């Protein structure tokens, strides 16, 4: 934004731009994005690396339009899927107007956070530090956390929030609008996401599997929608949960199919809320050994590389 734009009356300006959410895995990026747009699009869980793709959602008001870009957490990649996820996160830094860096409230800045600080030193866009999960600490401790990060890097703003409790999220929206460039809307006012329905449905099934499964399995699963067809107020969906080992298949299905049934029941409830109709959801489980290190299978399952 140039000086002439800054001097124009704010009431006559329509703001629009792209805002990325970055941070270490499991700091609440997807939860915050869902909270800011007021609808669940990105899946969430308490397991790290839940988000795998770049997901765009849209917040529209009279003042302007914010296109949020949720990215996978920045972490040490251990396979081709991990490399794909980290590449998306790093590339997003160069393609947006504002960067939101999410951290948890702490007086200790670890190696992972310092790596991100080094990445941010090279960018020219405004960087807003968002201290999430403030509902988990005492209010008088917050000033110390803010001071710790203020000394570590030069942030445009520091905004404490609680994504789960919706605390101070309105202030964060105002802060973002303040630094967005002027311009027309990128999407019509009814658009909430650029994600196809099939992709969101697949992710909802994966989320419910993450919630139900044991620690060693979640990173090794993907969900593929084989069929999705509407019949009036009913949608027929056939989906396959992909896992890496035969032993995992048994765990996912569970004794007498109880685990798979629970995943399906929980996913169906979310899908019906999303699509506003009844869902006939059929789930299967297939084994594709080491799919996370196969370029062919990664593309087959919707992870199409950084230029997707």
* Res. 67: pLDDT tops 70: yes
Domain 197-300 has CATH 3.60.15.10: no
**Cβ-count burial 262-286 (b if 16+ within 10 Å, e if not):** ebbebbbebbeebbeeebebebebe
- Integer CA distances (angstroms), 77 to 81, 167, 217, in order: 8, 33, 17
Q: Report helix, strand or coil for 227.
A: strand
* Res. 70: pLDDT tops 90: no
Q: What is the pLDDT of residues 128-169, one digit of tens each?
A: 999 999 999 998 999 999 999 999 999 999 999 999 999 999
Q: What is the pLDDT of residues 219-264, one digit of tens each?
A: 678 888 899 999 989 999 999 998 888 888 999 999 999 999 999 9
Structure-model confidence comparison of residues 290 and 308, the more confident one: 290
- % residues pLDDT > 70 (the chain): 77
Q: Report helix, strand or coil for 43.
A: coil
Each domain of the chain, given as residue ranges in start order, spans 3-179, 197-300
Q: Which CATH number fits domain 3-179: 3.30.930.10, 3.40.50.300, 2.40.160.40, 3.40.50.2300?
A: 3.40.50.300
Q: Compute the mean pLDDT over every residue in the chain, rounded to the nearest whole number.
A: 81
Q: What is the pLDDT of residues 80-116, one digit of tens each?
A: 555 645 565 556 667 789 999 999 999 999 888 888 8
DSSP 141: G
Q: At what angle do helices 258-275 and 197-212 cross, to 10 degrees?
A: 140
pLDDT of the residue at 10: 43
Structure-model confidence comparison of residues 123 and 283, the more confident one: 283
**For the whole model, what pTM was predicted?**
0.66
Angle at alpha carbon of residue 104, lines to 114 and 50, rounded to 5°: 90
pLDDT of the residue at 49: 44
């Amino acid at each position: 934004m140039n000086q002439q734009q800054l001097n124009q009356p704010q009431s006559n300006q329509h703001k629009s731009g792209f805002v990325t959410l970055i941070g270490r895995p499991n700091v609440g990026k997807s939860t915050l994005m869902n909270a800011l747009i007021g609808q669940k699009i990105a899946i969430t869980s308490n397991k790290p690396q839940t988000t795998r793709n770049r997901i765009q959602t849209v917040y529209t008001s009279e003042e302007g339009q914010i296109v949020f870009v949720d990215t996978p957490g920045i972490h040490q990649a251990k396979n081709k899927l991990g490399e794909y996820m980290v590449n998306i996160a790093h590339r997003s830094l160069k393609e947006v107007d504002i960067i939101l860096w999410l951290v948890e409230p702490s007086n200790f800045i670890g190696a992972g956070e310092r790596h991100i600080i080094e990445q941010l030193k090279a960018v020219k866009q405004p960087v807003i530090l968002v201290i999430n999960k403030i509902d988990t600490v005492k209010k008088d401790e917050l000033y110390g956390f803010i001071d710790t990060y203020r000394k570590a890097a030069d942030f445009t703003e520091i905004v404490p929030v609680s994504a789960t409790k919706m605390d101070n999220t309105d202030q964060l929206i105002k802060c973002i609008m303040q630094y967005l460039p002027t311009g027309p809307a990128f999407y019509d006012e009814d658009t909430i996401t650029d994600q196809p329905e099939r992709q969101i449905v697949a992710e909802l099934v994966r989320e419910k599997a993450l919630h139900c499964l044991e620690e060693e399995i979640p990173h090794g699963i993907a969900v593929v929608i084989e069929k999705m067809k509407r019949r009036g107020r009913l949608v027929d969906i056939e989906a396959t949960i992909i896992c890496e080992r035969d032993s995992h298949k048994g765990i996912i299905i569970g004794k007498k199919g109880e685990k798979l049934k629970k995943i399906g029941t929980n996913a169906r409830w979310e899908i019906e809320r999303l699509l506003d109709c009844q869902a006939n959801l059929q789930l299967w489980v297939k084994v594709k050994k080491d799919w996370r290190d196969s370029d062919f299978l990664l593309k087959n399952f919707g992870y199409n590389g950084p230029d997707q």
